[in-house]
Amino acid sequence: MKLEIKHLAAYLPYELKLKEGKLSSISHRWRTLKYVDSENDDYNTSFERVTPLLKPLSQFEYDHIVQIKEHLGLGHWCDHYDQYFDAWFDDDESVQKLVLQCPYEIMQFFLECHFDVFGLIDAGLARSCHRVSPNVFGLGEGGDFHHKC
């Protein structure tokens, strides 16, 4: 597996953090991306030269379901979602498969919160945001994102 546009493009609207800075644009034609560092300098580089910072799916907890309900808004939650998350928390080993089967509205939440939905951390193509030193661009004390998720 290698880092491809399909892995990065899904996070583009949600200001994906990279070890090198913050993702700002992707060029499919040239197979490059642009990122902004902590000094607001722009850099162009290839996909292979960056490291996305993502949250492992193992950090998804029941508290996040409340955030998803808020994210969806009143009247948009259905019983199917309850069944989906019951299966999620019952079988830790199939979480990676379950995330790719989730409804689109829930997938948007996972992407916005920078959860690793494509298994990039396990493939060595991304780093867990909680294993990164606090001085990395966009991260606070202890390596946590300053993000609503």
pTM recorded for the entire structure: 0.77
Dist CA 60 CA 9 (whole Å):
22
pLDDT digits (tens, 9 = 90+) for 130-148: 644 333 334 333 333 334 5
The total number of residues shown for the chain amounts to: 149
Average pLDDT over every residue of 9-26: 88
pLDDT value for 40 = 80
pLDDT digits (tens, 9 = 90+) for 63-120: 888 888 887 776 777 777 877 788 777 766 667 777 878 888 888 989 999 999 999 9
DSSP readout, 107-128?
HHHHHHTTB-TT-TTTTTSSEE
pLDDT value for 133 = 38
More confident residue, 142 or 43: 43
